[in-house]
A and B are shown apart, each in its own frame.
Chain A
Amino acid sequence: MLKYITKRILQVIPLLIIVSLISFFIIRLSPVDPLAELRLNPSISQETLDKEIKRLNLDKPIYIQYISWAKSFIKGDLGYTSAGEKVSVKLKERIPNTLLLTAIVIFMTWIVGIPLGILAAINKETAFDRMLTVISSIGMAIPSFFFAILLLIFAVKTGWFPVGGLTSYNFNEMSLIGKIIDISKHLVLPVIVLFTISLSGLQRQMRANMLEVLDSDYIKFARAKGLSESKVIFKHALRNAINPMITLLGFEFAGLLSGAALTEYVFQYPGLGRLILEAVMKSDINLVMASLMMGTIMLVLGNLIADILLMIADPRIRGAK
């Protein structure tokens, strides 16, 4: 098992190198001057500017630029944003927020989506199942940013939820419990948006898996030997139906990272998605490169975790390795 995990981790490394190559060349070959903002910013000294030019080797050919960028990236030196802040500080501030958001959403979709999928499969073609199908179709079709805007209207009209951000202006004066309540209040709306969108897909997938398993021979056998329905479903069907969902966990994480960008933007949520968006708008190359790499690393790690979980859950995969 340890061997398998090591192998998977080693596979990630060439992947990250290719990703960094792709993104580096896309950005560098574009007609955008990576230091344009930095040059225009009066608070940036010529010294910092020279340091950046030297660090990025902007006067050298592109492949040397890449090598030097990769070197400093591995060392953890991500350079400065166009506003003069350290990129690494900025990322440290934003990544936990995005992880918090996605973790809550994934947790909630699993808690709700899996049982709903099972229920829909057991009650196949009943009014309940049909209703869930209609609701999930609606959930899949609503654009995340549009839904976010609708919720904003709701928040403004009722005044029940704060509109935007992650913390209130007086956050620092609050007690610990006050802080937790404040953050949760700010999280409600973005979580609802992402939850609705990813729940639909998860519920459908679970239903389809469950139906497939319920149709298999070993379930027919379990029924034939007179097991109670609950035993058939929870002991035999569920365990097999849930395995493909674990693989899906990685994809769900990927989808959430992308989906969160627009949601974060509408709610002014201080996450990685909004960071990269702002960086792109300001053509802040250091920040774009770093957050793109971080997003990719998070995604790859998400897939890796899903693979390891699958191995723990599925004895067939464990046996094969």
Chain B
Amino acid sequence: MREMLTKILQDKFAKIAFITLVLLYTIILFANFIAPYSNTYSNRDMSYAPPSKIYTIDENGKLTRPYTYNYVREYEPSLMQTVFKQDRTKKYYIKLFTNGHLFGTEKSGQLYLLGTDINGRDVFSRLLYGGRISMTVGFLALLVVFPIGLLYGGISGYFGGIVDTLMMRFAEAVMAIPSFYLLIILAAILPGGMTSVQRFALIVVILALIGWAGFARVVRGMVLSIKNEDFVLAEKTIGASNLRIILKHILPQTTSYVIIAMTLSVPSYILAESGLSFLGLGIQQPDASWGNMLKEAQEFTNILYRPWLLTPGLLIFIAVLSFNLLGDTIRDILDPKSQKRI
């Protein structure tokens, strides 16, 4: 493990990716503390407020502690719409460690680092809370996929014959359905009125249902070649049960493939969850996920005049890119036969 870490840190890209991911996970772990607002905060008078501007130089041209002004909504008759204007009468200094959060302003002040959404919720805070869902859903889905895929592929490959044929035909059928179609159908038949935890758990299960078949197939292929090795024969001779042979002796041989497949498949789950939530079939409001935050970016007026609503997409991109780069490097380390990335 330590050896692997040193090797990862030797690669320039992998190092950056690794540090980015550690940083992202640290931030979402302490989201409650780092985010200036709670996950239930909503200021209905301030929907679509632009990001707060932070100043470090006061009106006399002197350097001061960073401060910001509140926004007020005003109706602009010439434009026939409401606009946000800064209320320059009162300065709000940004304080560290206030009200149990890392930073913030006084109670009556507003600090929207990335503006607000339609319900007047702070986008920056929601990004952190949403990250908790978007960044963990992939790993949780893997926890479901891998035991199923390993066992299924293991049994199929080990027994061979008619068992193998039937099991593989079924897996192939699952793979033959365009995965995103299956995904949206499964998500759409979820009954309404679930708690957010239940919904999250079911989304994880659905994502897993899409991914297990391909994985099981590869495992089966590996088991087919392993099962004829001498040590398996030896196990059989001393009378070990089939399940014991599969679980204790054959499957551990596939470890390095499993690790590679795991790191390389996390991004696809992150993308799948965000796609689902983007369509409104995944994580539901008021819970945040990067996908459902982007849902608001479907409207033209939003993407043209409120670009801060696009920030979740940027984070998905960064997370997926980091996982890809890291996965490539881990593959190169564990599987020297595969082609070097650089």
Contact = CB atoms under 8 A, between A and B. Distances in A.
Interface residues of A, number: 58
A224 interface: no
B267 A141 contact: yes
A156 interface: yes
A19 B324 CA distance: 31
**SS class of chain B's interface: helix, strand, loop or mixed?**
helix
Interface string A223-258: 000000000000000000000000000000010011
A143 B317 contact: yes
Contacts of A23: 177, 182, 185
A215 B70 CA distance: 65
B178 interface: yes
A257 B183 CA distance: 13
A18 B342 CA distance: 43
B339 A295 contact: no
B275 A26 contact: no
A283 B188 contact: yes
Interface string A55-85: 0000000000000000000000000000000
A277 B184 contact: yes
B173 A22 contact: yes
Nearest to A146: B313
B317 A146 contact: yes
A97 interface: no
Interface string B74-103: 000000000000000000000000000000
Contacts of A157: 304
A280 B310 CA distance: 26
A265 B279 contact: yes
A273 interface: yes
Interface stretch (B111-119, B121-129, B249-257, B294-302): B294-302
Interface in B145-197: 169-170, 172-174, 176-182, 184-186, 188-189, 191
Given A211-B339, A265-B279, A258 B179 contact: yes
Contact of B177 (A22, A30, A32, A259): A22
Contacts of A257: 178, 180-181
Given A141-B321, A143-B274, A157-B304, A18 B341 contact: no
A129 B340 CA distance: 12
Given A31-B191, A149-B313, A262 B185 contact: no
A100 interface: no
B173 A212 contact: no
B176 A296 contact: yes
B225 to A, nearest CB: 19
A142 interface: yes
A227 B335 CA distance: 33
B185 A153 contact: no
Given A15-B169, A257-B178, A292 B304 contact: no
A162 B281 CA distance: 28
A94 to B, nearest CB: 13
- Between B169, B178, B297, B339, the greatest number of chain A beta carbons within 10 A of the residue's beta carbon is seen for B178
B172 A15 contact: yes
Of the candidates A138, A145, A152, A153, the one having the most CB atoms from chain B within 10 angstroms of its own CB is A145
Contacts of A45: none
A51 interface: no
B170 A149 contact: no
A140 interface: yes
B312 to A, nearest CB: 8
B161 to A, nearest CB: 17
Between B181, B185, B191, B342, the greatest number of chain A beta carbons within 10 A of the residue's beta carbon is seen for: B181
A292 B324 contact: no
Interface string A281-295: 101000010011001
- Give the residue among A137, A141, A207 with the most B Cβ atoms within 10 A: A141
Contacts of B177: 19, 22-23, 292, 295-296, 299
A298 B84 CA distance: 51
A258 B271 CA distance: 12
Interface string B124-146: 00000000000000000000000
A18 B173 contact: yes
Contacts of A141: 267, 317, 320-321, 324
B188 A281 contact: yes
B300 A146 contact: no
Contacts of B297: 149
Given A130-B342, A143-B274, A153-B304, A18 B170 contact: yes
A181 to B, nearest CB: 24
B216 interface: no
Nearest to A164: B300
B298 A296 contact: no
A194 interface: no
Contacts of B185: 23, 26-27, 276, 280, 288, 292
A277 B279 contact: yes
Nearest to A212: B339
B173 A262 contact: no
Interface of A: 14-16, 18-19, 22-23, 26-27, 30-32, 125, 129-130, 133, 137-138, 140-146, 149-150, 152-153, 156-157, 163, 207-208, 211-212, 254, 257-259, 261-262, 265-266, 273, 276-277, 280-281, 283, 288, 291-292, 295-296, 299-300, 303
Given A15-B173, A150-B310, 15 more contacts: A16-B176, A18-B169, A22-B173, A30-B189, A137-B324, A143-B271, A143-B274, A143-B275, A254-B178, A257-B180, A258-B178, A266-B298, A280-B184, A280-B188, A295-B181
30 contacts: A15-B172, A16-B176, A23-B177, A23-B185, A26-B189, A31-B189, A133-B342, A137-B13, A137-B325, A140-B320, A140-B321, A142-B317, A143-B317, A144-B275, A149-B294, A149-B303, A149-B310, A149-B313, A207-B339, A257-B178, A258-B181, A261-B178, A262-B275, A273-B180, A280-B185, A281-B188, A292-B185, A296-B178, A299-B178, A300-B176
